[in-house]
């Protein structure tokens, strides 16, 4: 399979590039080439907001995009020629924080007071993709953990939990101190 992965140098996209290479797939990454590439990928160098003709002449069996905005998706789709399957890595931040848990895929997207513009941007990117390619796949993970995570968000939560355990400050003491 011939795959295109946008990014390919940080966390999710890098992990996917390495995984598909290990499966024997032909992996192309599109990025600015400002960070080390996964050994074995085929680089298509360019800024995603200035793709020009850098994707012309390619035909991909699958495209994996980790874009953030409507513009990200729209410009990529306009630059792509023919492709097979499109997979967009979105976020559960597209759901309002009041959406009942567990989240249901068909729940309405909307403003999330915690994630704010990030969630709205991802929702608009999804809409742009669905308008152009109704058969595209969209994943909405709530959180992504693991090696290579370049955002100190989830790790912050784990660090705070560990610090409280080391200092023998149980969660109940925190609740008593702050919420009673």
- Domain match, 97 and 169 both: no
- Domain match, 135 and 168 both: no
Q: What is the CATH number of the domain that holds 26?
A: 3.40.50.720
Determine the pLDDT at residue 114: 86
- Domain match, 113 and 170 both: no
Q: Shortest CA distance to 55 belongs to which of 108, 109, 120, 6? A: 6
**Domain that includes residue 140, residue range:** 2-149
Our measurement of the distance from residue 168's CA atom to the centroid of its chain's CA atoms, rounded to an integer in Å, reads 36
Tens digit of each residue's pLDDT (9 = 90 or more) over 80-102: 988 999 999 999 899 999 999 88
- Domain match, 156 and 113 both: no
If you average pLDDT over every residue of the chain, what do you get? 86
The helix (H) or strand (E) run that includes residue 143 is: none
Q: How many domains does the chain have?
A: 2
Tens digit of each residue's pLDDT (9 = 90 or more) over 25-66: 999 999 999 999 999 999 999 999 999 899 999 999 999 999
DSSP 39-93: TT-EEEES-TT--TTTTTT--EEEEEE---SHHHHHHHHHH--SEEEEEEE--GG
d(CA 114, CA 116): 6
């Amino acid at each position: 399979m011939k795959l295109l992965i946008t990014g390919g140098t940080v966390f999710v996209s890098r992990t996917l590039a390495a995984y598909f290479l290990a499966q024997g797939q032909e992996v192309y990454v599109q990025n600015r080439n400002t960070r080390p590439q996964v050994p074995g990928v085929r680089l298509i160098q360019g800024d995603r907001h200035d793709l020009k003709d850098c994707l012309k002449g390619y035909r991909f069996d699958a495209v994996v995009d980790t874009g953030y905005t409507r513009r990200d998706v729209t410009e990529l789709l306009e630059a792509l020629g023919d492709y097979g399957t499109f997979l967009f890595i979105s976020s559960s931040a597209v759901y309002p924080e009041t959406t009942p848990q567990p989240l249901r895929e068909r729940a309405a997207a909307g403003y999330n007071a915690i994630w704010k513009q990030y969630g709205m941007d991802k929702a608009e990117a999804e809409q742009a993709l669905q308008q152009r390619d109704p058969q595209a796949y969209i994943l909405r993970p709530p959180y992504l953990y693991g090696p290579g995570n370049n955002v100190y968000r989830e790790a912050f939560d784990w660090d705070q939990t560990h610090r409280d355990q080391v200092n023998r400050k149980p969660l109940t003491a925190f609740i008593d101190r702050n919420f009673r």
